Structure 1
Amino acid sequence: MNEECIHGLDGELCALCFPPAAPVAPTVPAARAPRASRARTPEAPTALRTIVAPITTGTARTKRHDDKVGEQRIYHLTHIRNLPGILATGRLLADTSADWTDRPVVDISSPENRSARRDVRVSGADSLAVADHVPFFLSPNALVWENIRAQSLDPRLSDDAHDAAAYDFVILVSTVKKVLDAQVDAAADPTASHFAVTDGDAAFTATRFGATAESADRMLQMLRADLDSDAILKAELLVPGEVPFGLITLIGVANDRVRDAVKPILATLSHKPKVAVYPPWFHPTEEL
């Protein structure tokens, strides 16, 4: 039964209106080390890195059987003041795209981080740069977003991002399948790689890339297999060039006021994603 809650989400997705059943305690409780705070100052990004094949083996603490990678949701964070520009072009554009007419009103990345992402190559010296891609998170609690929510210093973030409140942002949601299908339809070569997946910040030295169709799929499966790991909170999915706004299925917002501001912006569009109020996406993890 696909029941919609008052926040605009399908019932199974809203932990406020449809909380999960309380877990049944096991006979012998398993000891678990306390988790570190999500908010942290990351290592400084660098353009010097080694391309490493993704790790595809290992024991997962929370294993997903019958994993359906295509259903994985992907999340693009932007400031609400950037939304009219996105809708005017009808696309999310990569940083280095030649199609920009006006740059984002609020730039989330620091100049140093943007420069590093323009230097780092995805799969070798002759490949596309990280900045040639539209970035998505694999979790609505991604660590760089957590540092905005928790107002923690992060060298990847601009002063504007540090000064903004979490409710000033919106989260544009799609799925791996939607993006992949669109990329395949548009590609002249159906065997080409259509996106890359990383197990960390794409500009960091130690980050591993899945840059072919096979390695990207394996990387996604690895990340989804270990749901207790911080890896999926650091990971990125990188789509080359642009992502049509028509692939966005949901816009997550912090409260009713932001929803009421977003809906008129969408009013003239033929494609109107659901606008859902979902506060947990906009609060620091330690407050939940």
Structure 2
Amino acid sequence: MAECIHGFDEGLCDVCFPRTPVTPTRVAPTRTATARTPGRPAARTAASVGAPASLRLPGRRVQHVTHLRTLESIALDGELRADAEPDVDVSSATTRELRATATVPDGRSVASLVAFSIAPDSTRWQELREGALGSHWSDAARAAKPTEFAILALPVDALGSDVVFADGDAGAVATRFAAGVEAGTAALRRLHASDPEFRDAELLVAGPVPIDAIAVITVANDRVRDEVRALFADAGRPVPRIAVYPPAFAVD
């Protein structure tokens, strides 16, 4: 798969791969009835028909946004862990409580899994870089600048089979879950009809997730790139690919 100069897969960077608006084709309704064979699987839903054939969890990258001070601890540990205490905790107490009490289909709490966003520009990341207003965020989040964060991109293929897809904020009551890569892909394709950007969807992963799985770290500027290189070197870890892409940290 091709990548742009900013480290994103083909089609994920609006600068290098501008999006072309798609004009839906209207199909005239037909009155011809189609007989169903007993026991035959139901026809595909409109949601799955409208989703591109390439829309699958395998082959896709997911994102994890972290503060640079927390990234330093991740580099020292060599892994992302759900039970690790972040050096800069951007989540409010309310958010942590909701995610601790919310459960995935097998009974594990959402908080016991490492969370990744499906979209490169998720709703939560947009909120965070625009001032972290609202009940999701801590005072530390509101005091932080967007340039103090890094976006870790990891391929789903490197995360194993113990994954849970959430079609919205995993701590919200109305969110639905799908366990496993195959069921998660089906849920992702269904979600395409109502949220083609997947800005609220998450992928929850049984940790720990080794930092060797990181495909690219996106940062805001050259200074932060050098800082990230140094913290990995100081931790005695191989330095992942680092992309400098200021638009990802811009405030709308």
Q: Which residues of structure 2 form unaligned runs of 5+?
A: 26-43
Aligned to 2:33: none
- 1:235 CA drift (Å): 0.6
Percent identity over the alignment is 35
Aligned to 1:120: 102
CA distance in 2, matches of 1:76, 1:25: 29
Cα gap change, 1:251/1:156 in structure 2, threshold over 3 Å: closer, same or farther?
Answer: same
CA distance in 1, matches of 2:165, 2:55: 17
Give the one of 122, 129, 133 matched to 2:113.
Answer: 133
- 1:60 CA drift (Å): 6.6
Cα gap change, 1:12/1:222 in structure 2, threshold over 3 Å: closer, same or farther?
Answer: closer
Contact 2:100–2:109 (8 Å) recurs in 1: yes
TM-score (norm 1): 0.71
Aligned to 1:201: 169
CA distance in 1, matches of 2:220, 2:49: 31
Name the aligned partner's letter for residue 103 of structure 2: R
Q: Deviations over 1:126-150 (max 9, x none)?
A: x110011000000121111111122
Aligned to 1:261: 227
- 1:230 CA drift (Å): 6.3
Larger radius of gyration: 2
Name the aligned partner's letter for residue 94 of structure 2: E
- The alignment status of 1:90 with 2:72, answered yes or no, reads no
Name the aligned partner's letter for residue 106 of structure 1: V
RMSD of the TM alignment (CA)? 2.9
Contact 1:199–1:219 (8 Å) recurs in 2: yes
Name the aligned partner's letter for residue 101 of structure 2: D
Aligned to 1:148: 128
Aligned to 1:63: 51
Give the one of 128, 153, 157 matched to 1:173.
Answer: 153
TM-score (norm 2): 0.80
- The alignment status of 1:81 with 2:69, answered yes or no, reads yes
Higher mean C-alpha deviation, range 266-275 or range 127-136: 266-275
Give the one of 179, 184, 199 matched to 1:233.
Answer: 199
Q: Deviations over 1:160-198 (max 9, x none)?
A: 112211111101110111112xx5xxxxxxxxxx11000
- The alignment status of 1:278 with 2:241, answered yes or no, reads no
CA distance in 2, matches of 1:211, 1:3: 29
- 1:151 CA drift (Å): 1.8
Cα gap change, 1:3/1:195 in structure 2, threshold over 3 Å: closer, same or farther?
Answer: closer
Secondary structure at 1:232 match in 2: coil
